């Protein structure tokens, strides 16, 4: 027996809703006539580019913040990252 039967049921209904939706509704889901896509696509490109440039420093900062919340000292964090 599955530990999360609600997840499988929700996934089934979500898939059923997507497949039951007419294809023209998926293709033309933007009620503004394309303006929404024209503004969100460049925004997504800018965000993706920023992520590609700054991903290493963002992840390093996030890792340090999580380690500090766990109670690890800076020396332990630096030792783990340097492999000593």
At 60-78, the pLDDT tens digits run: 999 999 988 888 665 655 5
Write 22-25 long-range contacts (CB < 8 A, 24+).
none
Query: Using H for helix, E for strand and C for coil, what is the string for 2-67?
Result: CCCHHHHHHHHHHHHHHHHCCHHHHHCCCCCCCHHHHHHHHHHHHHHHHHHHHHHHHHHHHHHHHH
At 3-49, the pLDDT tens digits run: 666 777 788 888 877 777 666 555 566 666 667 778 888 898 999 99
Taken as a whole, the chain contains a residue count of 84
């Amino acid at each position: 027996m599955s530990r999360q039967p609600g997840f499988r049921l929700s996934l089934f209904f979500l898939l059923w809703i997507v497949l039951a939706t007419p294809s023209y509704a998926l293709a033309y889901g933007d009620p503004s006539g394309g303006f929404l896509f024209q503004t969100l696509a460049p925004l997504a490109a800018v965000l993706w580019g920023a992520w590609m440039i700054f991903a290493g420093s963002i992840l390093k900062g996030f890792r340090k913040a999580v380690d500090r919340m766990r109670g690890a000292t800076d020396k332990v964090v630096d030792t783990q990252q340097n492999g000593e």
